[in-house]
Amino acid sequence: MDWGQILNTAAGELLSPVTAAYALAAIGIGVHFGYAGLLNFGQAGFMAIGAYGFVVPTLLFDFPVWAAFLTSIAASVLFAFLLGIPTLRLRADYLAIVTIASAEIVRYIVSTTGLTDVTGGAAGLSGFNGGFNALNPFADGIYGFGPWTYTENQLWIRVVGWSLVAIASVLVFLLMRSPWGRVVKGIREDEDAVRSLGKNVYAYKMQALVLGGVFGSLAGVIYVLPRAVQPANYGTTLTFFIWTMLLLGGAATIWGPIVGAMIFAALLTLSDGILRGLISADIVTFISGTQAGQIRFMIIGVVLMLLVIFRPQGIFGNKKELSFNV
Amino acid sequence: MSDTIVTHPLVDGAVGPGCKKVDPIVVADGVTRTFGGLTAVDVAHVEIPRHAITALIGPNGAGKTTFFNLLTGFDKPNTGEWSFEGHSLARVPAFRVARKGMVRTFQLTKSLGRLSVLQNMLLGATKQPGENAFTALIKPLWSKREQAITSKAEELLARFKLLEKSEDYAASLSGGQRKLLEMARALMSDPVLIMLDEPMAGVNPALTQSLLGHIKQLKAEGMSVLFVEHDMHMVRHISDWVIVMAEGKVVAEGPPDQVMNDPAVIDAYLGAHHDSDLGDMTGVNPVIEAKERAAEHAAKKEGAI
């Protein structure tokens, strides 16, 4: 059992583009749930919309990278309006139901065989990252050290991914310290009270939904750039992973979603490495390698439950902010 | 009432249900709201006087709160028109009603628990450039207004004796303090008409006195007040005008003394015991008497053995 290798892989996962994508998506539902109180259980849908919004125009119409980013953002804004217009006037639970259903609808649509020419069907799409890698300003070579050793293209996607995470965090920070953030947080507490003070609650909820959705779509782009688009990746599991990360870090915090995503991704890889190591060293004999992959998710489920019971405010959350029961 | 025509300085003409006011701030016509087969509100005509404290009273289920919700845009009527300062407000969304200067509070206080008391107050202020998502990003664009409203909020908090709590979460306040906070927050927008839904519900007597003082102060500052209340002592104490609702209709209105002596109102809507404080009852209490008799009986028995 090679502990060095296991720890190395887990440490590498801390900065991987997938982790950056997770963090971005978690910042998105942080805006939705942590600040505005919107229950979005369809962040995977926003990620899928973002990914396909980027990939399809690139492959079909040869869109340059910047234009593909814009179509991806525009698609998620449209999707947010589509979800928000009928549901944001209703109670919070309706949005939850609609988002979870529409994320599944998106996944089924992109994997239908009828649309294989456009979306690639169940097999997905690949070969769209040429344009992105062509923009790489880093010269060929090997960068970094230890577990963080990258080729120029690996470095480039990480730089872009984590820069987006940083921009999103700064944006959220600036918004949430402003009067805009105050209104949004007020809506989280009691929207009728905010309405009685002359604020257009519906418009604010829509803005929050769009903002978090755009972060979700950018997460989708970062998620697929180093690999291929696979519709199977955008199931409800992905949404609940992101929820776990957000709650792990602390919902209404700036650092919560980022650190939550890092810890989650590293733990996922670490537990996988350890389990597989134990199996290959014949210490654990009653489970197979395939089963090990499943068991990690059970562990994550238990961790999520323990978290909600014993530390509902997450790592960075303010205990006081959650301990009051209004 | 008798044949003599009663007049009042607030009223243009004779006093009676739906009478015309000299200077009305709200005029409502034909407002109805039904829930299934139940007609909750059916107000033919009512006018709320300006620069006065008006109480809206009536038994439970009279439609007071529903009428409140309709006027403030929190509920939609089946029929009806009403105007506020001459502008029609029927079917206008709640937030626009509030912006026009008609601000309400709620029967069950809606303090925003996980915001600080000061943040609660600042939320009440209007015309904040920082509430736009784009200007919000650049602090210099809104910091000046923020300073102005912060000092205003602190002034109001001092007046309502909440200043030392300004950094605490609103959820940590007591029920009465939350009522005060809600009232103070409503004042942040400089309302023309402030509508209080049962401001005294669940507030201890000491705080009631200070709330009464605050309400009177609102009138002194030129605001008009409309409030729903059950506590008759308070209604009598501070209101200039009383409107009585029952089964969705306005059944009586007038100055407090007159309305409360209206035998129809007393019997049908306040109950025959409206004037006696339940705590001060000195008459025969059958329960206590029965207990005393039982105790005497037991003592006698013991003595006999």
- How far apart, in Å, do the first and last CA atoms of chain A sit? 51
Q: What is the mean pLDDT of chain A?
A: 90
- For residue A324, pLDDT over 70 is answered with no
List chain A residues with CB under 8 Å of B89: none
Average the pLDDT over B1-6 and give the result: 58
- For residue A38, pLDDT over 80 is answered with yes
Q: What is the pLDDT of residue B303?
A: 61
State how far residue B32 is from chain A, nearest Cα, in angstroms.
Answer: 22
Kindly indicate the confidence band of residue B193, based on its pLDDT and cuts at 50, 70 and 90.
Answer: very high
Kindly indicate the confidence band of residue B259, based on its pLDDT and cuts at 50, 70 and 90.
Answer: confident
Q: Do A175 and B130 touch (CB under 8 A)?
A: no
State how far residue A177 is from chain B, nearest Cα, in angstroms.
Answer: 9
A181 close to B (CB below 8 A): yes
Instruction: Quick: pLDDT tens for A283-301.
Output: 877 888 788 878 888 887 8
Kindly indicate the confidence band of residue B1, based on its pLDDT and cuts at 50, 70 and 90.
Answer: very low
DSSP state of B157: H
State how far residue B212 is from chain A, nearest Cα, in angstroms.
Answer: 22
Higher per-residue confidence, A279 vs A184: A184
Average the pLDDT over B213-224 and give the result: 91
Instruction: Quick: pLDDT tens for B286-297.
Output: 556 666 676 777
State how far residue B241 is from chain A, nearest Cα, in angstroms.
Answer: 25
Q: What HEC string does chain A produce?
A: CCHHHHHHHHHHHHCCHHHHHHHHHHHHHHHHHHHCCCCCCCHHHHHHHHHHHHHHHHHHHCCCHHHHHHHHHHHHHHHHHHHHHHHCCCCHHHHHHHHHHHHHHHHHHHHCHHHHHHHCHHHCECCCCHHHHHCCCCCCCEEEECCEEEEHHHHHHHHHHHHHHHHHHHHHHHHHCCHHHHHHHHHHHCHHHHHHCCCCHHHHHHHHHHHHHHHHHHHHHHHHCCCCECHHHHCHHHHHHHHHHHHHHCCCCCCHHHHHHHHHHHHHHHHHHHHHHHHHCCCCCCCCHHHHHHHHHHHHHHHHHHHHHHCCCCCCCCHHHHHCCC
Q: Which alpha helices (DSSP H) does chain B contain, by range?
A: 64-71, 94-99, 117-123, 143-159, 175-187, 205-220, 232-238, 256-261, 263-265, 286-304
Contact between B227 and B56 (Cβ < 8 Å)? yes
- For residue B188, pLDDT over 90 is answered with yes
List chain B residues with CB under 8 Å of A185: 112, 114-115, 119
Q: What percent of chain A has pLDDT over 90?
A: 63
State how far residue B295 is from chain A, nearest Cα, in angstroms.
Answer: 46
Higher per-residue confidence, B184 vs B289: B184
In chain A, the residue whose alpha carbon lies closest to the alpha carbon of B185 is A197
Between A and B, how many CB-CB pairs are < 8 A?
111
Average the pLDDT over A78-87 and give the result: 94
Q: What is the pLDDT of residue A325?
A: 44
Kindly indicate the confidence band of residue B268, based on its pLDDT and cuts at 50, 70 and 90.
Answer: low
Average the pLDDT over B124-129 and give the result: 92
State how far residue A196 is from chain B, nearest Cα, in angstroms.
Answer: 6
Q: What is the pLDDT of residue A108?
A: 94
- For residue B275, pLDDT over 70 is answered with no
Average the pLDDT over B191-208 and give the result: 86
Q: What is the pLDDT of residue B301?
A: 65
Instruction: Quick: pLDDT tens for B21-45.
Output: 888 999 999 999 999 888 999 999 9
- For residue A104, pLDDT over 70 is answered with yes
- For residue B2, pLDDT over 50 is answered with no
Average the pLDDT over B158-172 and give the result: 91
- For residue A35, pLDDT over 50 is answered with yes
Least confident of A186-195, B180-189, B261-270: B261-270
The beta-carbon neighbor of B171 closest among A175, A183, A324 is A324
- For residue B159, pLDDT over 70 is answered with yes
- For residue A273, pLDDT over 90 is answered with no
Instruction: Quick: pLDDT tens for A214-269.
Output: 999 999 999 999 989 999 999 998 999 999 999 989 888 999 999 999 999 998 88
A199 close to B (CB below 8 A): yes
State how far residue B194 is from chain A, nearest Cα, in angstroms.
Answer: 11
Q: What is the mean pLDDT of chain B?
A: 85
In chain A, the residue whose alpha carbon lies closest to the alpha carbon of B140 is A178
Q: Do A197 and B124 touch (CB under 8 A)?
A: yes
Q: What is the pLDDT of residue A326?
A: 36
Contact between B240 and B246 (Cβ < 8 Å)? no
A188 close to B (CB below 8 A): yes
Average the pLDDT over B83-92 and give the result: 90
Q: What is the pLDDT of residue B270?
A: 57
Q: Do A193 and B110 touch (CB under 8 A)?
A: yes
Q: Which of B123, B138, B174, B188 to mutate to test the interface with A (most CBs of A within 10 A)?
A: B123
Q: Which 202-261 residues of chain A touch chain B by CB within 8 A?
A: 207, 211
Q: Which 124-143 residues of chain B touch chain A by CB within 8 A?
A: 124, 126, 128, 130-133, 136-137, 139, 142
In chain B, the residue whose alpha carbon lies closest to the alpha carbon of A324 is B171
State how far residue A316 is from chain B, nearest Cα, in angstroms.
Answer: 16
Q: What is the pLDDT of residue A229?
A: 92
Higher per-residue confidence, B20 vs B272: B20
The beta-carbon neighbor of A179 closest among B113, B136, B189 is B136
Strand order in the sheet with B24-35: B38-49, B24-35, B79-84, B87-88
Q: What is the pLDDT of residue B288?
A: 60
List chain B residues with CB under 8 Å of A171: 137
B94 close to A (CB below 8 A): yes
Q: Do B95 and A207 touch (CB under 8 A)?
A: no
Q: What is the pLDDT of residue A96?
A: 92
Q: What is the pLDDT of residue B286?
A: 56
A326 close to B (CB below 8 A): yes
In chain B, the residue whose alpha carbon lies closest to the alpha carbon of A34 is B114
Average the pLDDT over A76-101 and give the result: 91
Task: Please list, in sequence order, all residues whose beta carbon lies within 8 angstroms of the beta carbon of residue B177, skipping any fewer than 6 positions away.
Answer: B162, B165
Least confident of A66-70, A285-289, B217-221: A285-289
- For residue B284, pLDDT over 80 is answered with no
The beta-carbon neighbor of B126 closest among A186, A189, A198 is A198
- For residue B281, pLDDT over 70 is answered with no
Q: Do A179 and B139 touch (CB under 8 A)?
A: no
